[in-house]
Amino acid sequence: MLGALRFGFHMRRDTYAFIYDDFLNDRKYERGLAALDARLASLDLVGRAARLTLFRSAKEIIESMVSQGSDTVVLVGNDQTLDKVMWFLPDLDVTLGFLPIDEPSRVAQILGIPKGEVACDVLAARLIETIDVGRLDERYFLTEVALEHTLAAVDVEGRYRISPSVGGSIFIRNLGSLAENGTASADAKDGYLEVVIRPEEEKNSRLFRRAAALETRVMLKTGEIVASQPIEARVDNHVMNSMRFKIGICPRKLKLITGRRRRLAPEGEGLPNAEKTANLPFTTVQMQKASTGGGIGIRTSLRG
């Protein structure tokens, strides 16, 4: 039914290419898809349509639609649908739209796109953002690279190497985070990737915990992940294995239709200093206040 609706507009010049994920074949999505189609038609958002299947390459499908004149590729599905095309899509000169139908839809949340037929209104508004895309070896990624429970190190721009002392998890983020509650913690428009390291907790640390721990956070443009044995890296939701990965950022590489409530940059950006330091651990707050305080140069006798 949805195909008939789309393919009925062949006489008109296609600008939209609608790509439906294969999980939408399930009968439980029939109603939702019918409502979505009706909404798209009422907004005059029409174009070619195709469905991803197990035996058809997403790259071939999209490239053929782009070669036939589509300049906006609209993915219908969930976050995993994005993962299926993100590894090659930034190389095509297209604008990406997204209509989330089902969970997981964390990326959709970050992009400010509501789930279901109301997402069509976001598409119609065409609020386009040009954002950065990360690259791990030859593969593009939108959200993050995650290395969990690893002893790997990150070589930052050939200048220094950073690693968890006794193992931990490393996240290299471009847009938001899949590991947390969906709020943006990395800025996808700053031309940098954010490296976050969470060391493993020490033994007995649950009983003898100290003050709140900060996350390690550094920025990089290019770098390398190195390990002494093969490691598993989760790129968006795809898994790659190697002992070395080259990593970098491709600034302003992807045009994306977003909602008004997009969160492409951390929510704290632009907060006054007082608010920014409100959650700092006691010692750090004290030290920061002291450093910005009146500057009374009290000299005391030095020990040693």
Partner 1 sequence: MFSSNRRSDRQDYEPLSTPATNGATVIARGVKVEGDFVSQGDVIIEGEVNGHVTTNGLLTIGTDAKLKAEISVNDAVIAGLVEGMVTVKKRLELKATAKILGDVTCETAAIEAGAILHGKCSIGQGKLDKESSKDQIAEKPFGEKLPAEKPGV
Could you tell me how many residues of this chain bind partner 1 (CB under 8 A)? 56
> Exposed, middle or buried, 109 (CB in 10 Å: 0-12/13-18/19+)?
buried
**Site for partner 1 contains 221 (CB under 8 A):** no
**Site for partner 1 contains 198 (CB under 8 A):** yes
Whole-number Å distance between alpha carbons of 53 and 63: 15
From 35-43, 85-93, 144-152, 290-298, span contacting partner 1 (CB under 8 A): 290-298
> Quick check: 262 and 111 in contact, CB under 8 A?
yes
**Which member of 36, 86, 111, 197 binds partner 1 (CB under 8 A)?**
197
Tell me the three state secondary structure of residue 264: coil
**Which member of 217, 244, 252, 261 binds partner 1 (CB under 8 A)?**
217
The minimum distance between CB 170 and partner 1, in angstroms, equals 10
> Quick check: 84 and 116 in contact, CB under 8 A?
no
From 66-74, 98-106, 127-135, 162-170, span contacting partner 1 (CB under 8 A): 162-170
The minimum distance between CB 248 and partner 1, in angstroms, equals 18
Query: Angle of helix 58-67 relative to helix 79-86, nearest 10 degrees?
Result: 70
**Which member of 43, 125, 212, 243 binds partner 1 (CB under 8 A)?**
212
**Site for partner 1 contains 121 (CB under 8 A):** no
* Phi, psi (rounded to 5 degrees) for 166: -120, 30
Which token pair is 109?
């949340």
**Site for partner 1 contains 267 (CB under 8 A):** yes
**Site for partner 1 contains 273 (CB under 8 A):** yes
From 90-98, 116-124, 128-136, 291-299, span contacting partner 1 (CB under 8 A): 291-299
**Which member of 1, 11, 239, 302 binds partner 1 (CB under 8 A)?**
302
Instruction: Give the C-alpha distances (Å, rounded to integers) separating 96 from 158, 204, 212.
Output: 34, 48, 40
Instruction: Give the C-alpha distances (Å, rounded to integers) separating 238 from 93, 96, 131.
Output: 23, 20, 21
**Which member of 125, 127, 213, 243 binds partner 1 (CB under 8 A)?**
213
Determine how many CB atoms are found less than 10 A away from the CB of residue 36.
23
Which CB, 1 or 293, lies closer to partner 1?
293
Rg over alpha carbons for the chain, rounded to the nearest Å, is 23
**Which member of 38, 43, 125, 271 binds partner 1 (CB under 8 A)?**
271
The minimum distance between CB 163 and partner 1, in angstroms, equals 6
Pairing, β 216-220 against β 128-136: unpaired
Determine how many CB atoms are found less than 10 A away from the CB of residue 80.
16
**Which member of 125, 215, 244, 261 binds partner 1 (CB under 8 A)?**
215
Q: Rounded to an integer, what is the distance from CA 33 to the centroid of its chain?
A: 26
Which CB, 126 or 217, lies closer to partner 1?
217
* Contact residues: partner 1, CB under 8 A: 159-166, 168, 185, 197-200, 202, 206-207, 209, 211-219, 266-269, 271, 273, 275-281, 283-284, 287-288, 290-291, 295-304
